[in-house]
Structure 1
Amino acid sequence: MVRELSWQWHILILLQIVSLSFQLNHEFVPEREDLFSDCTDKPGFQNIDKIADLSQFVRKRNKNGGIDIHGNITMKWDVQPSDRVSVEVGILKLEKGTWKPTVFKGVDKDFCKSFYDKNTIYYPHSTEHVINKEEVKDKCVNIPGTVLIVEPFQLKILINYAVPLTPGRHKALIIYTAFDKANVKRPNEICMEIIGDIVKG
């Protein structure tokens, strides 16, 4: 989230509640190296292409199973700079052909306020890698034309014992919603999924 960056990594970061102090024993392996899929059960929601141009943002799986990331992200969401942005994140597990919600769910009602905070759990896995953050720190996903320059790094999603997720197919569901100054919801909500498998490390 340079505040912006969070739009795409918020879910990954939450999955990574990670390596802080607990022993790691599982890994989340995304199905797609480009990470993001359209939401299959959210008709009427816009996809990731409506919030950002990722044509210059490289995501490629490496021989170690992680994903190498670098490049530019350009914001293009058609909302207003004064809008408040809310982010809802949930993890679902595939059980007998049906996606069922897990206990892992959260909402940040004003996520642009904290994305640059170095004390947040996601900073080392996202904002830290934006090399032009001084230039864009006052901007967020609601400001089209904002460009984030991301240095090369490897994203490897490790799950620790503290996270109540078990091996198997999961998907992370993330929804971005903008609210105007009167707190009225904008109609062009964004929804994206990251599908993959939690495997034993």
Structure 2
Amino acid sequence: MWKILFLIHAGLAGVWAADYELLLEDPDIFARCTEAPPGTIFFRDAINFDKLSVEQEPNTLHVSGNATTTWDLEPTDRIAAKFALFQYQRGNWEPTVFTMATQDFCSIMYDKDQYWYKYWTVHITNRNEVEQHCIKKAGTVLIHEPFVMRLILRNIRGATLQGRYKTVISFEAFDEKNVPRGPGVCFEIRGEAEKLKN
């Protein structure tokens, strides 16, 4: 009996799943983290975007050009990365259940099953150089093929997403003894959640 109820529930959850898009509120796209740990630097202080073009249309971002790393770490350092979604409620940013983290970003940045890959690194064409240095070595150029990006969360089950949201993306470096090295990197992307029609 329990197996039948579980299968019914799982089937209904699949039917109730929805896709959402984050409609950006800031044309600059990247914002400084409002609650970053002391000493954290902004994304644009770790990667130079002067030669990267990001043009915003109502539902899409058109990205092309190169970005160059300025964050200078040791080759043996490990980079932990985290993505967390927050909702603005009653004057505060409240955490949601949507979080993604990896303790070794460089090892998975070209993993086809990762969101990092699907939304960003699949479009970096000089894969061999980037895999060798990751974003650890200052001067590493990330060459992007022109691509279109939509900030979409797919197959979300449960409560409906409504209102203002922000994604907080952070990177933190650790040395061989697992001691944090230098400043971490953080940025936010803010916008309104809109349910996509199927």
TM-score, normalised by the number of residues in structure 2: 0.82
- In the alignment, which residue of structure 1 is the partner of 2:125? 131
Separation (CA, whole Å) in 2 of partners of 1:96 and 1:170 = 13
Contact 1:72 1:148 in 2 (8 A): yes
Q: Specify which of 69, 78, 83 is matched with residue 77 of structure 2.
A: 83
The Cα of 1:152 is off from its aligned counterpart by 1.0
**What SS class does the counterpart of residue 182 from structure 1 fall into?**
coil
Shift in Å at residue 24 of structure 1?
5.2
Q: Could you tell me which residue of structure 2 aligns to residue 44 of structure 1?
A: 39
2:56 aligned residue: 61
Q: Distance in 1 between matches of 2:182 and 2:138?
A: 17
- The CA deviation at 1:95 is 0.5
Q: Structure 2 CA distance, aligned partners of 1:187 and 1:114?
A: 22
Q: How many residues align?
A: 179
Residues 107-150 of structure 1, C-alpha deviations (whole Å, 9 max, x = no match): 21011111122343443332221122233321211111110111
Matched, 1:118 2:120: no
CA distance in 2, matches of 1:106, 1:125: 14
Q: 2:176 is matched with which residue: 169, 174, 181?
A: 181
Question: Any stretches of 5+ residues in structure 1 without a counterpart?
Answer: 1-21
RMSD: 2.0
- Call closer, same or farther: CA 1:65–1:106 in 2, change over 3 Å: closer
The yes-or-no answer on 1:200 pairing with 2:164 is: no
Larger CA Rg, structure 1 vs 2: 2
Q: Structure 1: which 4+ aligned runs deviate by more than 6 Å? A: none
CA 1:128/1:95 → structure 2, altered by over 3 Å: closer, same or farther? Answer: same
The aligned residue for residue 100 of structure 1 is 94
In the alignment, which of 147, 151, 156 is matched to residue 150 of structure 2?
A: 156
**Matched residue SS, 1:36:** coil
Unpaired segments ≥5 residues, structure 2: 1-15
Distance in 2 (alpha carbons) for counterparts of 1:115 and 1:88: 13
- Tell me what 1:13 maps to: none
Match of 1:38, SS state, is coil
Deviation at 1:23, TM superposition (A): 6.9
- Per the TM alignment, residue 32 of structure 1 is displaced from its structure 2 partner at its CA by 2.3
Q: Which of 28, 52, 58 lines up with 1:34 in the alignment?
A: 28
Letter in 2 for 1:56: K
Q: Between Structure 1 and Structure 2, which shows a larger proportion of helix residues?
A: 2
Does the CA-based 8 Å contact 1:177-1:185 persist in structure 2? yes
1:70 and 1:84 mapped to 2: Cα distance?
28
Would you say the 8 A contact 1:33–1:67 is kept in 2? no
Deviation string, structure 1 residues 58-85 (Cα, Å, up to 9, x no partner) = 11112x5211111101011032221111
Distance across 2 between alignment mates of 1:110 and 1:25:
28
Identity of matched residues, %: 32
Q: Deviations over 1:30-74 (max 9, x none)?
A: 222332111112243111122100111111112x52111111010
